[in-house]
Amino acid sequence: MEARGEIVIKNRTGLHARPAALFVQVANKFESDIVIIKEDQEVNGKSIMGILMLAAEKGSKITIIAKGKDAESAVKELSDLLTGDMEPEQ
């Protein structure tokens, strides 16, 4: 099974270290293989280094693709994570 979702990064600082770490933590809960695509770059969604290499700033459009038996759940939860409020309260 394959699922995909396209999202726009809304976090004001983009997909920097802390959101990337949260993303990897959630991605690793799933058995599915997960990749993130930004423009012509494709990285492993379970690798923090890969995600940081994307340099996904606010407004960047990315595609999340999951392949495996829990693919739909993975894409939904990861999309919700990136479109939710990831900024710490001040």
Block residue for tokens 């423009």: 39
Catalytic positions are 16
Is the separation of the CB atoms in 53 and 41 below 8 Å?
A: yes
